[in-house]
């Protein structure tokens, strides 16, 4: 039975599909627990309001009109954080004046780190949502502690192991490198993204069984409560699509006509761009495989071309009904379909978790950010090996985690209790670490107990 709570929770997502999706899923989870949910978003990539009638939406001026953000630069991300400060603060002040102490906290995407500054100014509790893996964040934190230990490195070291970060190699460092070092502005941005400031807790779209050791190490570093309540797409109530792009649901009907465990699903996510040469190589690989395939070619995903116009002449006629090409697909439904036998993926964290949940084997083509690190950890660490050995059992473990006595369900209950107990206004200065860790909330040990 849903409990109606007086408190409101504000969510501030980063405006890209891989970040919007887990934030909106978290919103659905919190709403199902009785909280009122307000989503404050940028004008760029506005969510589809009609898909989420249970939320209150508010748009804030991001100051980036007319700028191509399909593949954002470091400058774009800094500008976004700076431009949104005043609009967010003004809206929150207005809300606080109208509603008094009904605002429980602000949950923000780790890339929107400006939110913590605003929350601190207004003495409001803030919580970080981590939209990537714990392993990726751990690799960044380790390097931040002694960057001179890692940079610059020689070409001859590319395949050498990174100190303290097995099985990563120097070529796998979690930052873009130029001449085997990382420019200071990139390091500064990543430090800001990994910092939690005065935030009182962290929510994770991951599971204890999947990343227990990484979560424990990170909690020792941050010393705030951790709430690994993933997989968010499974924990969230059945709801409308979180997609910004229009999904082509006709591909499900096509899958219905295919034999069980026969189709290769190909999708490189919402941000990756490839050149026409890689598209053509992929096309011939699929054609020569003689296997049915469902291929997502997102508009703008092939540099210099629109959608599938870069495909070899006669390709679609050659593969005929054996292949289906769409601009965007309802991925969670696709991966759960019995016809799907494999997933050719960019290894984004959402895609990785969704594939594990459905026991779909992955062919991995990582491109950027956390993707190479995520898949190398999954393939080569002891935890990763354990996952592969137990892949048939993983879905049962995930279902168990979501049951009343399961770890994700327990962590969600702890999160609800934690938010409900937060003071409506924090007293400055903020002794967050001591106050939270010494409190009676079981949240502070949520990832230690199973």
Residues 361, 188 contacting (CB under 8 angstroms): no
Q: Is 233 a catalytic residue?
A: no
Q: How many CA atoms lie within 13 A of 385 on its CB side?
A: 4
Of 19, 31, 233, 337, which one is the catalytic site residue? 19
Of 41, 52, 62, 109, which one is the catalytic site residue? 109
Between CA 293 and CA 303 the distance in angstroms is 23
Between CA 43 and CA 212 the distance in angstroms is 37
How far lies 379's CA from each of 213, 260, 275, 321, 368, in Å?
16, 26, 27, 34, 17
Residues 297, 308 contacting (CB under 8 angstroms): yes
- Nearest C-alpha neighbor of 353 from the set 369, 367, 332: 332
Phi/psi at 391 (5° precision): -60, -35
Q: Is 409 a catalytic residue?
A: no
How far lies 268's CA from each of 190, 284, 366, in Å?
24, 17, 9
Between CA 266 and CA 282 the distance in angstroms is 10
How many CB atoms neighbour CB 204 within 10 A?
27
Residues involved in catalysis: 19, 109
């Amino acid at each position: 039975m849903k409990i109606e709570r007086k408190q409101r929770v504000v969510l501030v997502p980063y405006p890209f599909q891989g970040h919007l999706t887990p934030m909106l899923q978290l919103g659905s989870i919190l709403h199902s627990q009785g909280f009122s949910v307000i989503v404050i978003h940028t004008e760029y990539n506005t969510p589809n309001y009609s898909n989420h009638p249970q939320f209150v939406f508010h748009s804030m001026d991001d100051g980036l009109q007319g700028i191509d953000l399909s593949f954002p630069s470091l400058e774009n991300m800094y500008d976004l954080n700076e431009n949104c400060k005043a609009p967010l603060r003004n809206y929150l002040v207005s809300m606080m004046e109208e509603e008094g102490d009904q605002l429980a906290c602000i949950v923000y995407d780790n890339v929107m780190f400006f939110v913590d500054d605003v929350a601190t100014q207004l003495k409001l509790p803030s919580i970080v949502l981590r939209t990537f893996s714990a392993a990726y964040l751990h690799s960044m934190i380790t390097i931040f502690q002694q960057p001179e230990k890692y940079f610059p490195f020689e070409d001859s070291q590319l395949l050498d192991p990174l100190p303290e970060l097995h099985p990563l190699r120097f070529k796998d460092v979690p930052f873009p490198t130029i001449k085997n070092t990382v420019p200071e502005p990139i390091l500064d941005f990543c430090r800001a993204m990994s910092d939690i400031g005065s935030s009182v807790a962290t929510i994770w779209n991951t599971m204890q069984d999947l990343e227990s050791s990484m979560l424990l190490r990170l909690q020792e570093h941050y010393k705030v409560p951790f709430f690994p309540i993933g997989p968010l797409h499974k924990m969230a109530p059945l709801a409308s699509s979180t997609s910004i792009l229009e999904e082509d649901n006709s591909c499900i009907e096509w899958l219905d006509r295919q034999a069980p465990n026969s189709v290769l699903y190909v999708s490189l996510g919402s941000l990756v761009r490839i050149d026409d040469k890689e598209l053509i190589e992929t096309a011939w690989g699929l054609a020569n495989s003689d296997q049915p395939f469902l291929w997502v070619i997102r508009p703008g995903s092939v540099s210099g071309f629109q959608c599938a116009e870069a495909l070899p002449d006669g390709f679609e006629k050659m593969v005929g009904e054996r292949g289906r090409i769409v601009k965007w697909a309802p991925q969670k439904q696709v991966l759960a379909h019995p016809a799907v036998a494999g997933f050719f993926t960019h290894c984004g964290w959402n895609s990785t978790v969704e594939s594990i949940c459905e026991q779909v084997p992955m062919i991995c083509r990582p491109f950027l950010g956390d993707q190479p690190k995520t898949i190398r950890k999954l393939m080569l660490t002891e935890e990763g090996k354990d996952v592969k050995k137990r892949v048939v059992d993983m879905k049962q473990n995930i279902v168990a985690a979501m049951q009343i006595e399961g770890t994700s369900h327990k962590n969600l209950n702890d999160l609800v209790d934690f938010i409900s107990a937060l003071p409506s206004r924090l007293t400055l200065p903020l002794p967050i670490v001591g106050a939270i860790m010494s409190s009676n909330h079981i949240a502070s040990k949520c990832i230690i107990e199973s």
